[in-house]
């Protein structure tokens, strides 16, 4: 489904925010506790309402000082587009303050922003006394990307730290620990990187093992003989890294990096690579140590244009960092796995009691520090799940730039819904559905939304996606403004069950009258949704499955809405057989509310259809597939096939009465029970399974008379027949 800018604006609840004399709304930060969306833009910090970004705005005008702008202009920069303050970084610092950084007209600057204790405080201001130097935190040039994460009171940032944009580093600042950075002027560490994202991921329950990961792309040193090639990377470092004692002083001693591969295997054995990493999204799982890593790539080739989404696991990432180190003997040698002895503790391991006895990196032996200096690159790359992308687009007039992912519970399982931003100003809504297995996935483009009318300026990276899944909202930032979009528009799929089913949107289901939001916890049972197959023939024909026990009674309910309609029933033994009208007799009765089969036989299984006829018009109301559940032999053997059926007058024409317990009635209730979904759950409730008694040795002869007395005292039946095993009632 494709919705234009005008259609979104008129019919589908899109809210917009624009600000005169500003642009590049790229830094977005959610605050659910206060109900605010904090935004960094050109010369402004904004606080908008999460419910409606077009209302209740608060803004801070934060321009660069006049003398900084003049100095920037003298350096040859444009006074209007370059020599201003682009707010690139906004983080939560504590419960009362944010930490924000901007380019400051090529003079990076940072400030603490007071937001108050509660939402009712309505505080939003910068304390001039808490403005500080932003070098190593924010880029100088607004065209350069910045990747940062605030962990505790420490800021980890990947930025350029000089005016010319040549000294790129991963830098730790703030906090009580000393500032640490990557090695300077060493292409083995960083080689013209473009930072994309950074995240903190715990390694174990011990906080000393925590690591920070950086995602970036750079010029590959291992491909120098093949020309200038761009590789995507993931780098790791330990939070408690203090630098070395005699070497790598105030430099990372635990920094490692490896290649991220996102490629499509070719039939001839050659892969098509997507090497330009654009964005990263971490989807949290129940295990906070193992989030899923969603990434967006594009091609660097001028011949082949395309974009892809690849999915990685933390297990695969950690496995690559525990693999062999990349090694090169000299300039004329190839990169090979290091075959020598790796010093202890292994470079890249954090100093902690979990994996060793070292309390600080300053205590690492000199050979460990020297090895870490010369071997920051791992030999094994990280491959995506199933070694291929989960979504690809080629030969289109746009490239993927951003991604946000929501895990949705649907009727037939969980699905990760991807919202992908493009440089064309559109947002794609995509899911990946398994076919025969999870190794064979089908990609589905559910929606293409034209959020903005103009192409996004990729030079400033001013397209950002931020999703608030608890409120089902997507916030999109661009160089022209902000947009707030609902995650789903179920009504737009149509007014018929088949249209809703064919949409295959995990957010939506047919409720009997319209296509509406699917809520997995709802008590309503008439919700039709099939994301995996999207089969309207099964879901929307009104067909249901009904299970009956052989020899019992069952009821096929069908009530037409019109009181004047005449109802008829047809029967089909197999789908390829001819449909015949149901023959009514003493065993099969038609009532005002449906068809009563007093005693189900094997020949009754098949497909039943209920038809309503009025004024010459016939309509099929529903279809029911009747399947047989064999009854226990003790029940069938006591019920001759030609025996007359006695009806219990208390049940109003219910099932047959025998001297057995009416267990099949309970079984039918359990099969249709809303909280019992699997055969195992049903069987647990149906069968009264008692544990096997341990084998008992034959009693001693001298105690035999006592055993006989006890046996007579416990006997409950006197006809010599064992009491048949019966299932428990559903209410017991």
Best mean pLDDT range from 214-218, 508-512, 531-535, 584-588: 214-218
Assign 576 a pLDDT band (cuts: 50, 70, 90).
Answer: confident
Using 50, 70 and 90 to split pLDDT, how confident is the model at 438? low
H/E element holding 72?
helix 66-74
616 versus 537: the higher-pLDDT residue is 616
- Tell me what the mean pLDDT of segment 469-483 comes to: 89
496: helix, strand or coil:
coil
Question: Is the sign of the CA dihedral 30, 31, 36, 40 positive or negative?
Answer: negative
Nearest in space to 597 (alpha carbons), one of 579, 571, 576, 577 = 571
pLDDT, position 723: 47
Among the residue ranges 125-129, 224-228, 499-503, the one predicted with the least confidence is 224-228
- pLDDT of 497 reads 84
348: which 2 tokens?
């890249």
pLDDT of 281 > 90? The answer is yes
Question: 391 pLDDT exceeds 90?
Answer: yes
SS3 for 331-398, per residue?
CCCCCEECCCCCCCCCCCCCCCCCCCCCCCHHHCCHHHHHHHHHCCEECCCECCHHHCCCEEEECCCC
| Distance in angstroms (rounded) separating the CA atoms of residues 530 and 518 | 11
Residue 699 CB coordination number (10 Å): 11
In sequence order, what are the residues at sequence separation of 6 or more whose Cβ sits closer than 8 angstroms to the Cβ of residue 131?
A: 109, 110, 111
Closest Cα to residue 628, out of 536, 721, 545?
545
d(CA 605, CA 626): 5
* Mean pLDDT, residues 403-420 taken together: 93
Instruction: Read off the pLDDT band of 645 (50, 70, 90).
Output: very low
User: Is pLDDT at 70 greater than 50 in this prediction?
Assistant: yes
Three-state DSSP class for residue 49: strand
- Between 78-87, 252-261, 647-656, the lowest mean confidence (pLDDT) is in 647-656
User: Could you give the CA distance from residue 726 to residue 714 in angstroms, rounded to a whole number?
Assistant: 20
**pLDDT band for position 118 (cuts 50, 70, 90):** confident
Look at residue 451 and give its three-state secondary structure.
coil
Residues 359-378, mean pLDDT to the nearest whole number: 93
Asked if residues 307 and 392 have their Cβ atoms less than 8 Å apart, the reply is: yes
Position 722 scores a pLDDT of 46
Given CA atoms 517, 523, 528, 529 in this order, what sign does their dihedral have? positive
| 170 in Cβ contact with 255 (< 8 Å) | yes
What is each CA distance from 512 to 360, 410, 499, 672, 673, in whole angstroms? 64, 17, 13, 19, 20
**pLDDT of 692 over the 90 cut:** no
Rounded average pLDDT over 512-540: 78
Report pLDDT for 399.
92
- Any idea what the Cα angle at residue 14 is, between residues 11 and 18, rounded to 5°? 135
Bridge partners (DSSP) of residue 382 are 260
Using pLDDT thresholds of 50, 70 and 90, give the confidence band for residue 289.
Answer: very high
Higher pLDDT: 731 or 508? It is 508
Q: pTM, whole model, 2 decimals?
A: 0.76
Counting residues of the chain whose pLDDT is more than 70, the rounded percentage is 83
> Residue 681: pLDDT band by 50, 70, 90 thresholds?
low
Exposed e or buried b per residue across 551-590, where buried means at least 16 C-beta atoms within 10 angstroms of its C-beta: bbbbbbebebeeeebebebbbbeeeeeeeeebeeeeebee
Q: Nearest-CA neighbor of 222 among 338, 330, 329, 335?
A: 335
Q: Is 196 a residue whose pLDDT tops 70? A: yes
Direct distance between the N- and C-terminal alpha carbons of the chain, in angstroms, rounded to an integer:
50
Structural contact between residues 623 and 608, judged by C-beta atoms closer than 8 angstroms: yes
Residue 37: per-residue pLDDT: 94
Domain positions in the chain: 488-540, 544-629
- Residue among 262, 87, 290, 93 nearest 199 (CA): 290
The pLDDT score that the predictor gives to residue 663 is 47
Distance CA 234, CA 231 (A): 10
pLDDT tens figures, 164-192: 888 999 999 998 999 999 999 899 999 99
- Per-residue model confidence as pLDDT tens digits over 299-327: 877 778 899 999 999 999 999 999 999 99
Angle at CA of residue 197, ends 191 and 203, nearest 5°: 100
Give me the mean pLDDT over the 255-278 stretch. 91
CA 639 from chain centre, in angstroms, equals 54
Distance in angstroms (rounded) separating the CA atoms of residues 67 and 608:
85
The tens digit of pLDDT for each residue in 131-154 reads 999 999 999 999 998 899 999 999
Classify domain 488-540 at the CATH class level: alpha beta
Q: Closest by alpha carbon to 252, among 361, 146, 134, 161? A: 361
Residue 732: the pLDDT is 40
pLDDT recorded at residue 731: 41
**Rounded mean pLDDT, 542-547:** 76
Name the residue with tokens 């930025």: 159
Mean pLDDT in residue range 9-19: 84
Determine the pLDDT at residue 630: 77
Confidence of residue 689 (pLDDT cuts 50, 70, 90): very low
- 3-class secondary structure, 499: helix
CA 191 to CA 141: how far, in whole Å? 18
Residue where the block lists tokens 């990947």:
158
Q: What is the rounded CA–CA span in Å between residue 364 and residue 245?
A: 8
pLDDT of residue 259 exceeding 60, the answer is yes
Element (H, E) at 297: strand 292-298
pLDDT at 376 over 90: yes
DSSP structural state of residue 708: H
Which CATH superfamily, name and number, covers 544-629? Answer: Immunoglobulins (2.60.40.10)
How much is the average pLDDT of 221-237? Answer: 88
Lowest model confidence (mean pLDDT) among 211-220, 231-240, 683-692: 683-692
pLDDT band at 660 (very low <50, low <70, confident <90, very high): very low
Q: Which helix (H) or strand (E) holds 232?
A: strand 230-238
Which residues, 6 or more positions from 271, have their beta carbon under 8 angstroms from its beta carbon?
Answer: 263, 264, 265
Residue 198 has pLDDT above 80, yes or no: yes
Distance separating alpha carbons of residues 725 and 656, to the nearest angstrom: 19
The Cα–Cα gap between 259 and 273 comes to: 12
Q: Is the pLDDT of residue 475 over 60?
A: yes
Q: How confident is the model at residue 655 (pLDDT cuts 50, 70, 90)?
A: very low
Cis peptide bond prior to 345, omega within 30° of 0:
yes
Q: Which pLDDT score, from 0 to 100, does residue 488 have?
A: 92
> What is residue 304's predicted lDDT score, i.e. its pLDDT?
81
Which is more confidently placed, 696 or 32? 32
3-state SS, residue 453:
coil
Please provide the DSSP assignment of 510-570 as one string.
Answer: E-SSSEEE--TT-S----B--TTT--HHHHSS-EEEEEEETTS-EEEE---S-TTPEEEEE
Alpha-carbon span 376 to 148, nearest angstrom: 21
d(C-alpha 685, C-alpha 703), whole Å: 40
Confidence band, pLDDT 50/70/90 cuts, at residue 253:
very high
Find tokens 């064919």 and name the residue.
Answer: 502
Q: Which residue has the tokens 């879901």?
A: 539
Taken in order 358, 364, 367, 370, the sign of the CA dihedral is positive
Q: Is 708 left (phi over 0), alpha (psi -120 to 50) or beta?
A: alpha
Q: How far apart are CA 255 and CA 238, in angstroms?
A: 8
What pLDDT sits at residue 454?
66
């Amino acid at each position: 489904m494709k919705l234009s800018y005008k259609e979104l604006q008129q019919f589908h609840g899109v809210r917009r925010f624009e600000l005169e004399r500003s642009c590049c709304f790229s830094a977005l930060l959610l605050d659910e506790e206060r109900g605010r969306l904090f935004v960094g833009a050109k010369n402004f910090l904004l606080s908008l309402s999460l419910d409606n970004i077009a209302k209740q705005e608060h803004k801070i005008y934060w321009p660069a000082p006049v003398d900084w702008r003049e100095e920037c202009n003298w350096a040859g920069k444009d006074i209007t587009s370059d020599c201003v303050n682009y707010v690139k970084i906004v983080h939560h610092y504590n419960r009362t303050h944010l930490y924000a950084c901007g380019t400051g007209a090529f003079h990076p600057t940072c400030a603490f922003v007071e937001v108050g204790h509660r939402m009712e405080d309505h505080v939003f201001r910068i304390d001039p006394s808490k403005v500080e130097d932003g070098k190593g935190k924010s880029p100088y040039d607004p065209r350069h990307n910045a990747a940062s994460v605030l962990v505790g009171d420490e800021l980890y940032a990947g930025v350029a730290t000089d005016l010319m944009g040549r000294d790129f580093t991963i830098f730790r600042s703030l906090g009580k620990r000393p500032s640490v950075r990557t090695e300077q002027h060493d292409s083995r560490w960083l080689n013209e990187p473009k930072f994309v994202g950074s995240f903190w991921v715990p390694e174990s329950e011990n906080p000393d093992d925590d690591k920070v990961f950086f995602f970036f792309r750079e010029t590959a040193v291992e491909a120098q003989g093949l020309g200038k090639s761009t590789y995507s990377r993931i780098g790791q470092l330990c939070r408690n890294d203090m630098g070395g004692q005699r070497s790598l002083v105030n430099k990372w001693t635990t920094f490692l990096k490896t290649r991220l591969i996102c490629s499509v295997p070719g039939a001839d054995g050659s892969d098509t690579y997507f090497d330009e990493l654009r964005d990263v999204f971490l989807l949290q799982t129940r295990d906070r140590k193992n989030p899923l890593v969603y990434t967006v790539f594009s091609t660097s080739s001028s011949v082949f244009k395309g974009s892809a989404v690849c999915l990685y696991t933390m297990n695969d990432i950690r496995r690559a960092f525990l693999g062999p180190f990349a090694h090169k003997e000299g300039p004329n040698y190839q990169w090979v796995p290091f075959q020598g002895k790796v010093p202890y503790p292994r470079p890249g391991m954090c100093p902690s009691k979990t994996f060793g006895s070292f309390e600080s990196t300053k205590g690492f032996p000199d050979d460990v520090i020297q090895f870490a200096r010369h071997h920051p690159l791992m030999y094994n790359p990280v491959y995506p799940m199933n070694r291929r992308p989960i979504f690809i687009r080629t030969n289109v007039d746009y490239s993927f730039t951003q991604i946000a992912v929501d895990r949705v519970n649907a009727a037939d399982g969980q699905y990760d819904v991807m919202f992908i931003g493009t440089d064309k100003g559109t947002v794609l809504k995509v899911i990946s559905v398994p076919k025969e297995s999870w190794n064979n996935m089908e990609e589905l483009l559910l929606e293409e939304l034209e959020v903005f009318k103009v192409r996004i300026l990729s030079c400033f990276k001013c397209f950002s996606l931020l999703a608030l899944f608890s409120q089902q909202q997507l916030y999109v930032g661009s160089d022209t403004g902000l947009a707030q979009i609902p995650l789903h528009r179920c009504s737009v799929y149509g007014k018929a069950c088949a249209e809703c089913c064919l949409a295959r949107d995990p957010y939506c289901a047919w409720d009997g009258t319209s296509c509406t939001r699917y809520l997995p916890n709802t008590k309503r049972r008439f919700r039709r949704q099939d994301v995996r197959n999207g089969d309207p023939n099964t879901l929307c024909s009104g067909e249901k499955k009904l299970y009956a026990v052989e020899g019992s009674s069952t009821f096929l309910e069908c009530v037409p809405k019109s009181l004047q309609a005449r109802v008829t029933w047809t029967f089909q033994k197999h789908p390829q057989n001819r449909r015949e009208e149901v023959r009514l007799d003493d065993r099969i009765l038609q009532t005002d509310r449906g068809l009563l089969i007093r005693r189900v036989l094997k020949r009754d299984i098949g497909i039943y259809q209920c038809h309503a006829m009025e004024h010459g018009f016939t309509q099929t109301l529903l279809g029911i597939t009747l399947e047989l559940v064999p009854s226990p032999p003790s029940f069938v053997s006591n019920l001759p096939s030609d025996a007359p059926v006695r009806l219990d007058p208390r049940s109003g024409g219910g099932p047959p009465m025998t001297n057995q317990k009416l267990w099949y009635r309970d079984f039918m209730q359990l099969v249709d029970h809303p909280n019992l979904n699997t055969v195992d759950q049903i069987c647990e409730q149906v069968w009264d399974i008692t544990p096997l008694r341990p084998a008992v040795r034959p009693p001693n002869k001298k105690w035999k008379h006592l055993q006989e007395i006890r046996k007579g005292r416990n006997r409950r039946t006197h006809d010599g027949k064992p009491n048949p095993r019966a299932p428990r009632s559903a209410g017991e």
